[in-house]
Every structure is written in structure tokens, then in C-alpha cells.
Amino acid sequence: MTTGDQEPTDFHLGLDENGLGPRLGPMIVTAVMARTTKAGAKVVGRKARGKLATRLGDSKGLVAHGKIGLAEAWTRVLVAHGAGKNREADSPQQLLQAVSLDDQQQLRSPCPAGVEAQCWSYNPLTFDDGFTTRRLLDTLSKDLDKLARRGVHIVAVRSIILCAKRLNLAAAAGENRFVADLHAMERLILALRAQAGRDVDAVCGKVGGFKSYGKAFGPLGGRLHTVLEEERARSAYRFPGVGDIAFVRNVDDTNLLVGLASLVGKYLRELLMGNIVHRYRETDATLPRASGYHDPVTARFVLETATIRRQQEIPDICFER
């Protein structure tokens, strides 16, 4: 493929997961795809530099539970620049729909009657667009413009949302969370490869302690492929008709696209976990604002919502992993 000035371009993907190990809430797997020039390919393959490094990198170092303004802003700016399924994102609900690989009907399909509101009540219903937020959105928009001038055009961001019930059903079928993570990454790669219309170069965060992925592949299982490398720090494969796929340890902070994927996933995870907390606090405002991770606050939230869940007939499979 070539750009308007006939400079050759390639498609690069960065993928990462958020929420692999928590007690509550969904696991999010996200992919960001860029069309790059030869120079741009070098940019995406390394850590953000200069001032950009204060705004783009591993989400664990840039945002935290309850402080995800930067992650939200990146998600909004990516969609506004055309990387989502549409540009209409005037609310958190619309933003999620713009980046989710699955539509709302697919996302809610496992929900028993009367349980949907636990996960999909969307709080807050609107964005807080104060001066600081507007200034941050403007800064990040300029960051994307600068990346484009360096040969990095972000063309897609997509996420797969695996709720507690989906993860529990997969576990019951013998598919642990690491395999669920891997299969979600495969789905995203295939979807974005179809959008690109040509083979892609994908870099993923390492899944679990896997060294060899061949027997664990799901959507890619059975496809002809070549093993390029299988080491503890990096495993890589070539799939004709799909592209090169590498699983790299600690890549969140050393690959620009993986860092972006990490930030988007962090925002979606916080949004959806916040929905769960909000739903129960509507009944009991004294409940703590739990993160969903394995910590004392989450343990208290689980204990103190037990009566509400029993009264509202919320099945355990939809609440706790």
C-alpha cells in the first residue's frame, strides 16, 4: 500500500489486556492499528519520547483507579480522529460502542433477565468537559497530528469485553483466563487484518507464562503458520494471509501502540467496573467504591452487597469470577 505521495506503508497493531486478574468486573482486550511509513514503523516500535512519554505509555504508570482522565481522553481523541466504528461519542456509552468489537446486543446476550443493569447502567451518563479536560483533549489531538507527520496514522481501535459470566463459563469449559485473553487477541487481529485488507504486523503483551502458543490458539488454530521464535521473553509466528504476530514480555511501555491499547483498555475497565459499583450504591450509598481487584475494599464490597444480590436475584456467575 502507498500513501498519496507513493511512499510505501504497512499496518502495525499493538494489543494488550486490562483486568486479567481481578476479583470483579470485566477483562478488556484492546488493539490499536496504525498505517505507517518505514520511518513510522520505527516510531511505533519503541517507547514514546520527550513530553509525549508523560502522556503515552503503560497505563499502570500513567493512570490509576479513580484517576483515569488521561485514559478517557485518549479514547475520546482516537474516536474523534476516526479510529472508532463511528465518530459519534458524546457519552461514555457511545464511546464504548464506538470501540467495542461486539455490538450492544452481543455484549448483553449472556445477561439473565433483570441483570443487565448491573453492568450496563452507564454512570456517569455524560462526560465532564471542564477546562482541564478540554485542554487535555486538545493536547492529545495535537499529539496524534504530530505522529501522523512522523508517518504514524492511527486508523483503528477495537476492544473485546469479557464480563465475569463469560470468563466463568469459559473456565467451566476448561479455558482459563490466559486462554480467554489469547483468543480475544486473535479475534481482534483477524478483524483488523480484514479492515486493513493486507497482512499486518501485530505485537501483543505476553499471555501468561506461555512460551509456545501453537496448541493454545483458538480463532487462529488450524491455520498454516511458521514459528519464528519461541523464548520466555518473546514468541513470534508468521501466518500467511494474516501476518506476523509476536507476544512480548513487558511490551506495554516499549511499544507506542501497545501503550495506547493499554490506556484505552484501562478506561473501559474502569468505566464498566464503575457501573457495577454505582448500581449497588443506588441501593446502599455506604458501599465502598471498589476497584474490583484483590484488596480489602473490594472484599468489603463483595461481603456487603451479598444481601442486595440475593434480593435482586443476581447470580454469582454474573458477579464474581
Q: How do residues 202-244 score in pLDDT, each as one tens digit?
A: 999 999 878 999 999 999 999 999 999 999 999 999 999 999 9
Q: Is it the case that residue 4 has pLDDT exceeding 60? A: no
What pLDDT score was predicted for residue 123? 82
Total domains present in the chain: 1
Domain-located, residue 201:
yes
Cα 64 to Cα 53: distance, rounded to the nearest angstrom: 17
Terminal CA-CA length for the chain: 44
Alpha helices, H only, 242-305: 256-281, 296-304
How confident is the model over 88-102, as pLDDT tens digits?
Answer: 899 999 999 999 999
Please give the mean pLDDT across all residues of the chain.
95
Domain-located, residue 4:
no
Cα 78 to Cα 82: distance, rounded to the nearest angstrom: 7
How confident is the model over 152-211, as pLDDT tens digits?
Answer: 999 999 999 999 999 999 999 999 999 999 999 999 999 999 999 999 999 999 998 789
**pLDDT class of 305 with cuts at 50, 70, 90:** very high
Cα 319 to Cα 284: distance, rounded to the nearest angstrom: 17
Q: What is the CATH number of the domain that holds 261?
A: 3.30.420.10
What pLDDT score was predicted for residue 6? 57
How confident is the model over 26-58, as pLDDT tens digits?
Answer: 999 999 999 999 999 999 999 999 999 999 998
What pLDDT score was predicted for residue 1? 55
Cα 51 to Cα 175: distance, rounded to the nearest angstrom: 41
Name the residue with cell 514514546: 48
What pLDDT score was predicted for residue 224? 96
| Mean pLDDT of the region 257-274 | 97
Determine the Cα angle at 105 with ends 259 and 260, to 5°: 5
Q: Which amino acid is at 9?
A: T
Domain-located, residue 210:
yes
Q: What Å distances lie between residue 319 and 86, 117, 162, 172, 282, CA to CA?
A: 31, 12, 13, 15, 17
Q: What range does the domain containing 46 cover? A: 10-318
Cα 133 to Cα 53: distance, rounded to the nearest angstrom: 19
Domain-located, residue 294:
yes
